[in-house]
Structure 1
Amino acid sequence: MVRGDFVPDSTYDQRLLDRRGPADWLHMDPWRVLRIQAEFVEGFGQLAELPQAVTVFGSARTPEDSPEYALGVELGRKLSEAGYAVITGGGPGCMEAANRGAVEADGVSVGLGIELPFEQQMNEYVDLGIEFRYFFVRKTMFVKYSCGFVTLPGGFGTLDELFEALTLVQTRKVTSFPVVLMGTEFWGGMIDWIKSTLAATGKISPQDLDLIHVTDDPDEAVRIIVDADRNRSRLREEEAQAVENTVGDAQ
């Protein structure tokens, strides 16, 4: 209900059908809500039929001739050989490396890109690519369609994605999945700080350290993912059996 000065001097239909007005409405929050909704619908629709997938994070600035790039290729290949789709941010560097490894192993290679102020195109090894406007929509897709995260060396963006994943697991906002850091030398200082500062001062619980696995071996990284997958499957089967037994007893 509106009265007085709040009464508009035109109707909603009139403003909708009038093409002479400004285009400011395209940039207003209500319209952004619809764009956000559309991104969720597009992401869910494109990714719903993926096989079990693992997300690989890492720097877009990693050169192709670096050991880290070679590690990403090997990791992507071994994940594909183990039956997992490989999801990355779709960009260059470590992301390209993991997608490349997946493609070379005839696996499923997915890129979830993000609109940035500077140009960053989807790498050529992505078979299924989706470009997002909003970071939080993209992050939802990473989490929803992954059964584990593997993090190669990276910068602020990689750290953001890493700690978001750890926080979701720590707070049990998601079903627990493994978080693996590839590169003991690169991540060693951060792990030492987490132990000596965060855990030592009670900012995190001692058991939170168990959420992070650090390795240099792609085979070990894949084994951690596979073992966690099997444990989840076993727990689901046990829960289903318990429910079935409960229903049988009640009858």
Structure 2
Amino acid sequence: MRFKKLLGHFGSLEQAWREGGEQDFIAAGLEPNLARDIAARRPQLDLDKELAKLAKENIGIMTILDEDYPRLLKEIYDPPNIMYIKGALKPEDEFAIGIVGTRKLTTYGQQVATKISRELAQAGLTIVSGLAQGIDTLAHLAALEARTRTIAVVGSSIERNSIFPPQNKTLAEKIALNGAVLAEYPLGSNALPHHFPARNRIISGLSLGTLVVEAPQKSGALITANHAVSQNREVFA
């Protein structure tokens, strides 16, 4: 793991960032192209300024080296090395279920998603979803209405101006009050198409199992289900 290589060589990630050069990164075990890229980009970034922006937005950073990094997520093949978080993760979030589905839901899908999400939330499970319109939104709302925990994993950065879809900015803020909004993308990252399949592995990775409600054959919900299967997690439909 690159993080562990840097930590072993420099003693801390901060030390690596502030003092490492291209040859130092190579000596730490990074690939030459990556070492060159990091060294070239670093002068363009003011770390203290970036940290101040995060603090202003009440956004924290969690790395895979942190003791409180989610255990279930750490078990998957490709966990994110860094996550940005608004709100907080708690130990009870290990008892979580992912709930995903179509954005274009039927009346039946709406009823089922709301009922099941509410019952699972009331049973003490943390509801994990992707903040998308449709099933995701209903799952988050059911948990909020039950006054239980919910986690939203987004395909953009998590400051208010970048949250996608924009219709759910207020919902994201409510989730952060008694749950968490997560992303692996830094400040200023827009929601790009390739972000969502990557985001979906985090939804399933945080969860003991994933429930799919109304999903067409080519959908992000089924991508999440496939991630769950590859992660040796349960899938319900």
Q: TM-score, normalised by structure 1?
A: 0.47
Q: Tell which has more relative contact order, 1 or 2 (C-alpha 8 A, sep 6+).
A: 2
Q: Rg larger in 1 or in 2?
A: 1
Structure (1/2) with the larger helix percentage: 1
Q: TM-score, normalised by structure 2?
A: 0.50
